[in-house]
A and B are shown apart, each in its own frame.
Chain A
Amino acid sequence: MRTLVYLAHPRPDRSEINAPMFEAARGIEGITCVDLYGEYPSFEMNVDREQQRITEHDAIVFLHPLYWYSVPALLREWQDLVLEHGFAYGHSGHALDGKVTFNAVTCGAAAEAYTPEGANGAHLRTLLMPFEKTADLCRMRYLAPFALFGAGRAVEEGRDKSHLAEWRSLLKALRDDTLDITAARAALSLNGFTAAGAAKLEAV
C-alpha cells in the first residue's frame, strides 16, 4: 500500500519519541512523510494539496502525541478543512473509500491508566472514538491505534528503541501489504501485530 505518515507535533525540537519516529519513517523507502506543523506553521492549510496527497495514498497514518485525549490542534484543523463534503463523505464523496487509517499515538500516562479499571476508565481505542467515527463516515478502514504509553519516561527506561523498531516493521508491513487488516481492525491495539512486535510481546 502507498503509505502516508502525517506528523502532528507543535514542538518537534523538544519531542523525545514522535520526532525520532518521524525520522525513522523517513528512512523507510516508499513511505511519504509530512510534517504538518512544518508545512503550515501559520495554520493556512492548502486544502487542495492535502486532498491530492491522501488521494494518492492507500494508508494514512497520523503520528502524534496524545494531547488532552485528542490530537494537537493543527491535525484537528486538517480534519476540518481537508475532509470536505463531496470529497471525503456525503453522497458524492468517495475519495477515501476503503483506505486504511490509524493513529500512532504516544501518551504521557502509563498503560494501566488506559484500561476500564485504570485512571482513564477506558481503553485508548475507546477514547479515540471520534477518529474512528470520522474514518467510518469517510468509508475508510480504521485500525486499532499503535501506542506508546509512559512516553515521558520511555527514553530513560530504554523503551524507545524497541518501540521504534516495531514502528518500522509496522510501516513496512503496511507498505508491503502483509498486515492482517481484518485482525488489525478488530484489535484493541496494533502493538504486537508484526513479527518484531510479537517477539517483543513474547519477551515480556
Chain B
Amino acid sequence: MDLLAAGFVYLVAAVIAVPLAKRLGLGSVLGYLIAGLVIGPVLGVVGGETVDIQHFAEFGVVMMLFLVGLELQPAMLWRMRAQLLGLGGMQVLGTAVLIAAAALVFGVAWQASLALGMILALSSTAIVLQTLGEKGLMPTAGGKGSFSVLLTQDIAVIPMLALMPLLAVNAVAGGHDGHGDSGHGAPAADAHGHGHGAPTLFDTLPDWAQAVAVLLIIGGIIVAGRTVIRPVFRFIAEARLREIFTAAALMLVIGIALLMNYVGLSPALGTFLAGVVLSDSEYRHELESDIEPFKGLLLGLFFITVGAGIDFQLLLSNPVGLVGLALGLMALKAGVLYVLGTGFGLRGADRWLFSLGLAQAGEFAFVLFGFAAGAGILGAEVIKPMTLVVALTMLLTPLLFILYEKVLAPRAVRTEDRAADEIDEAGSIVVAGIGRVGQIITRMLVTNGHKVTVLDHDPETIENLSRIGFRAYYGDATRPDLLHSAGLEDAKLFVAALDDREKQTELVHHVAKTYPEVTIHARAHDRHHVYELERAGAHLAQRETFEGALAMGRDAMTAIGYHPFRAEAASRTFRSHDREALDGLRESWNESGVSKSYIDAMRAHSQTLFELMKADRHDTHDRSERGWTPPPKGDASL
C-alpha cells in the first residue's frame, strides 16, 4: 500500500474510533489503540508500513516532551517540590522496585526487570488528566495528588531515557551493533546515536571529548534559549505571519532533535530541556499552540501503530494469563499508591481516587518499550505481551473510575482541601490586548495583588512587560487555542481590550460562546460599539474615551473659573445623564440599528442634557442645581 493510501486508512480509523471511545468514556488514547487494533490485527488492511510510520510518528513523543517542558516553569516546580519529590518520587521509585522484583521472580534478567519496573511505574497522563478534568475532580485533594504524581512521572522519563542505555551496555555485549529485530525496531526519534547509521564526526572524538561536547551542547541550549531564541522569535513575530511562526517553532524542535541525534543523546531530552528553558518566556503560549496540533496528530498516529502492532493471536492464546497479569500490575500499583496516599494525608474518597485513578500503565510505556528494544534491553518476547498488558490496564481504567464514582466515593468522606498545593498556574484574570487601555487595567489589578495573564501581539511591548515581571504572552488573542492555553476556562474575569474594533467584537463573541462561565468586560470604541459588544456577550462594555473626556471637561470648567466642586458636580451630572441616554437608546438600536427613531430618541436626549446644563443658579430644583440649596428666604419655620 502506498503511503497516501495508508495514511488515509489510518485517518479513517482514527476519525471513527476516537470520538466513539471518548463518548464511551474510554479516552482518546484507547480510541487510537482500538483504531490500530481494528485496521491491523483484526481487518488486516495495514501491514508492513506500520513500522515506518511508527518511526515517523515517534516524533510526536519528542514534541510531547517539548510541550511538557514548556509547562514546567522552574518557579512552579519549586513551589511543588515537596509534593513532587515526596509523593511523586516515592511512587515512581517504590513501584519500579516492586515491579522489577516481580519480574525477577518471573525469571526475567535483572536489567530487563529494572527497565520493566521503570516503564510500568508510569501512569497514563493523557487518560487520567482528561478524566479528572471531565469529572471535575481536579480541585479535590485526590486530584491534586494525582497531578503531582503525573508531573513527577513526566519528568522521570528524562532520567529513564538516560538510564536505559546504561542497562543496555551491561545487558548486551556489543550493544553498539543495534537490535533492530524486535517488532518495534529502534525508534528514529529516540535513537541512541551510537547504534545507528554511519559514524559521525562526533563518534570519532575520544570519550572525554564527547562528554565535554555533550555538556557544551546542553549548556548551549540553555544559554541560547535565554539569549538568542527570544530575539529570533521576536524578529519572526514582527513579521506577523502566523505560519512562519509555526514554521519557526517546528524548526526549533526538529533542529534540536537533529542536534541531539548527532551527538548521540536523546532528542526527547533535548527538546524537553529547550521547553523548560522557554517555559517562562513570553512566547510560551504561542509555541504551545503551534506545536500542540502536530504533537496530537503524530502521537495519535503513534498509538494507532502500537494498536496495529498488537499481537492478537497472543491474546487469544493466553487470555487468562494476560488479563491476570494486567490485574496483578494494577493491584500492585494501586497498593503502592494507597500506602503513599495514606502517608500523605489522603483519606476516604480522595485516597480511592488517587489509588485507582493512577493504577494503569501509561502511553509512555509504548515509547519506552520501543526505546528499550532499540537499546537491546527488552526483546520481542517480553515487549509483545507487555504491550498487550499495558493496553489492557488502560482499557480497565474507565471501569475503575466508574467503580470509584458509583460505589466508593458515595460511601467515603472527603479529606480537607489543602490550599497549599496551588497548581493552577493560569491567572484568574486574563487581559487581551495591552495597549493604552489594557495597560492601565492590568497595572491596577497587578498592583492590587492579582494574578493577571496578558496576551498581545506586539512582541516589543510583551518583552518589555515580561522584563519587569508581568506574565505577558505573545500571540493573537483572537485565536481560540491561545485563549485556551492562557487558561480561560478557570479565569474569573476576561478583559477584552483590543484596539481593533471588529476583532474586539469577534473576540468577545467567541469567548462568550466558548466560556459561558467567564465574566467578560470589554473596551468599546463608541456608544454603538457598546451595544455591539453587549450583543456579542460582554457583561460590561465601557467607552474607552468617555471617562477621560469627562475629566477633561471638568478640568476645562475649573480652568475657566468654576469652583472645582461645581465642575465635579457638572461632570457627574453629565455622566449619569449620558449613561441614561445609553440605556434609553439601547432598545431602539437593538431593534433597528441607527434608524430614524434612534436618531430622534438621541436628539431628545441631548435636548434634555442641554437644558440641564444651562439651568442657572435661580432655577433651583433641577438635578444639578438641587444640591445644598438653603431653605427659601422667607421660611418662617426657621
A interface residues with partner B (beta carbon < 8 Å): 10-14, 37-39, 41-42, 65, 67, 72, 108-110, 113, 150, 152-153, 156
- Given the interface contacts A12-B563, A13-B563, A113-B638, does A41 sit within 8 Å of B568 by beta carbon? yes
Q: Report the minimal beta-carbon distance from A81 to chain B, rounded to whole angstroms.
A: 17
The 9 closest A-B pairs by CB, nearest first: A41-B568, A41-B564, A37-B565, A41-B565, A109-B638, A10-B628, A11-B628, A108-B638, A38-B564
Q: Does B603 contact A (CB under 8 A)?
A: no
| A interface footprint on B537-567 (CB within 8 Å = 1, 0 otherwise) | 0000000000000000000000000111111
Q: Does B418 contact A (CB under 8 A)?
A: no
User: Are the CB atoms of B566 and A11 closer together than 8 Å?
Assistant: yes
User: Are the CB atoms of A39 and B564 closer together than 8 Å?
Assistant: yes
Q: Does B631 contact A (CB under 8 A)?
A: yes
Question: CB-nearest residue of chain B relative to A38?
Answer: B564
| A interface footprint on B595-638 (CB within 8 Å = 1, 0 otherwise) | 00000000000000000000001000000000111110101001
- Given the interface contacts A13-B617, A14-B617, A152-B638, does A108 sit within 8 Å of B564 by beta carbon? no
- Given the interface contacts A37-B564, A37-B565, does A10 sit within 8 Å of B627 by beta carbon? yes
User: Are the CB atoms of A11 and B564 closer together than 8 Å?
Assistant: no
Q: Report the minimal beta-carbon distance from B336 to chain A, rounded to whole angstroms.
A: 58
Query: CA separation between A12 and B627, bound complex, in Å?
Result: 12
- Given the interface contacts A38-B565, A41-B568, does A108 sit within 8 Å of B630 by beta carbon? yes
B638 proximity list for chain A (CB < 8 A): 108-110, 113, 150, 152
Q: Report the minimal beta-carbon distance from A36 to chain B, rounded to whole angstroms.
A: 9
Q: Report the minimal beta-carbon distance from B626 to chain A, rounded to whole angstroms.
A: 11
Q: Report the minimal beta-carbon distance from B100 to chain A, rounded to whole angstroms.
A: 67
B interface residues with partner A (beta carbon < 8 Å): 562-568, 617, 627-631, 633, 635, 638
Query: CA separation between A162 and B283, bound complex, in Å?
Result: 76
- Given the interface contacts A11-B627, A41-B568, A110-B638, does A152 sit within 8 Å of B633 by beta carbon? yes
A108 proximity list for chain B (CB < 8 A): 630-631, 638
Residue from B564, B565, B627, B629 with most neighbouring chain A CB atoms (10 Å): B565
List 20 A-B residue pairs with CB atoms under 8 Å apart, sorted by A's residue number.
Answer: A10-B627, A10-B628, A11-B565, A11-B627, A11-B628, A12-B563, A14-B628, A14-B629, A37-B563, A37-B565, A39-B564, A41-B564, A41-B565, A72-B628, A109-B638, A113-B638, A150-B638, A152-B633, A152-B638, A153-B633
Query: Which among A110, A113, A156 is the interface contact of B633 at CB below 8 angstroms?
Result: A156
Query: Which among B562, B565, B617 is the interface contact of A10 at CB below 8 angstroms?
Result: B565
Query: CA separation between A11 and B568, bound complex, in Å?
Result: 12
Residue from B563, B564, B567 with most neighbouring chain A CB atoms (10 Å): B563
Query: Which among A12, A42, A156 is the interface contact of B568 at CB below 8 angstroms?
Result: A42
Q: Report the minimal beta-carbon distance from B142 to chain A, rounded to whole angstroms.
A: 48
Known: A10-B565, A42-B568. 14 other contacts (CB 8 A): A11-B566, A11-B628, A12-B563, A13-B562, A13-B563, A13-B566, A14-B628, A37-B565, A38-B564, A38-B565, A41-B567, A65-B630, A152-B631, A153-B633
B567 proximity list for chain A (CB < 8 A): 41
Question: CB-nearest residue of chain A relative to B634?
Answer: A153
Residue from A11, A113, A153, A156 with most neighbouring chain B CB atoms (10 Å): A11
Question: CB-nearest residue of chain B relative to A11?
Answer: B628
Q: Report the minimal beta-carbon distance from A111 to chain B, rounded to whole angstroms.
A: 12
Q: Report the minimal beta-carbon distance from A2 to chain B, rounded to whole angstroms.
A: 26
Q: Report the minimal beta-carbon distance from B101 to chain A, rounded to whole angstroms.
A: 68
Query: CA separation between A11 and B564, bound complex, in Å?
Result: 10
Query: CA separation between A39 and B567, bound complex, in Å?
Result: 12
Query: CA separation between A47 and B623, bound complex, in Å?
Result: 31
B564 proximity list for chain A (CB < 8 A): 37-39, 41
Residue from B562, B567, B568, B627 with most neighbouring chain A CB atoms (10 Å): B568
Q: Report the minimal beta-carbon distance from A188 to chain B, rounded to whole angstroms.
A: 21
B635 proximity list for chain A (CB < 8 A): 152
Query: CA separation between A113 and B633, bound complex, in Å?
Result: 16
Query: CA separation between A110 and B631, bound complex, in Å?
Result: 13
Q: Report the minimal beta-carbon distance from B547 to chain A, rounded to whole angstroms.
A: 12
- Given the interface contacts A108-B638, A110-B638, does A152 sit within 8 Å of B630 by beta carbon? yes
Query: CA separation between A150 and B617, bound complex, in Å?
Result: 21
Query: CA separation between A155 and B635, bound complex, in Å?
Result: 16
A113 proximity list for chain B (CB < 8 A): 638
Q: Report the minimal beta-carbon distance from B567 to chain A, rounded to whole angstroms.
A: 7
Q: Report the minimal beta-carbon distance from A110 to chain B, rounded to whole angstroms.
A: 7
A152 proximity list for chain B (CB < 8 A): 630-631, 633, 635, 638
B630 proximity list for chain A (CB < 8 A): 65, 108, 152
A37 proximity list for chain B (CB < 8 A): 563-565
Query: CA separation between A65 and B629, bound complex, in Å?
Result: 12
Query: CA separation between A2 and B627, bound complex, in Å?
Result: 34
B633 proximity list for chain A (CB < 8 A): 152-153, 156
Q: Report the minimal beta-carbon distance from A160 to chain B, rounded to whole angstroms.
A: 14
Q: Report the minimal beta-carbon distance from A67 to chain B, rounded to whole angstroms.
A: 8
A109 proximity list for chain B (CB < 8 A): 638
Query: CA separation between A65 and B631, bound complex, in Å?
Result: 13
Query: CA separation between A39 and B558, bound complex, in Å?
Result: 11
Query: CA separation between A65 and B630, bound complex, in Å?
Result: 10
Q: Report the minimal beta-carbon distance from B551 to chain A, rounded to whole angstroms.
A: 10
Residue from A14, A109, A110 with most neighbouring chain B CB atoms (10 Å): A14
A11 proximity list for chain B (CB < 8 A): 565-566, 627-628
A12 proximity list for chain B (CB < 8 A): 563
Query: CA separation between A41 and B565, bound complex, in Å?
Result: 4
Q: Report the minimal beta-carbon distance from B290 to chain A, rounded to whole angstroms.
A: 47
Q: Report the minimal beta-carbon distance from B557 to chain A, rounded to whole angstroms.
A: 11
B563 proximity list for chain A (CB < 8 A): 12-13, 37-38
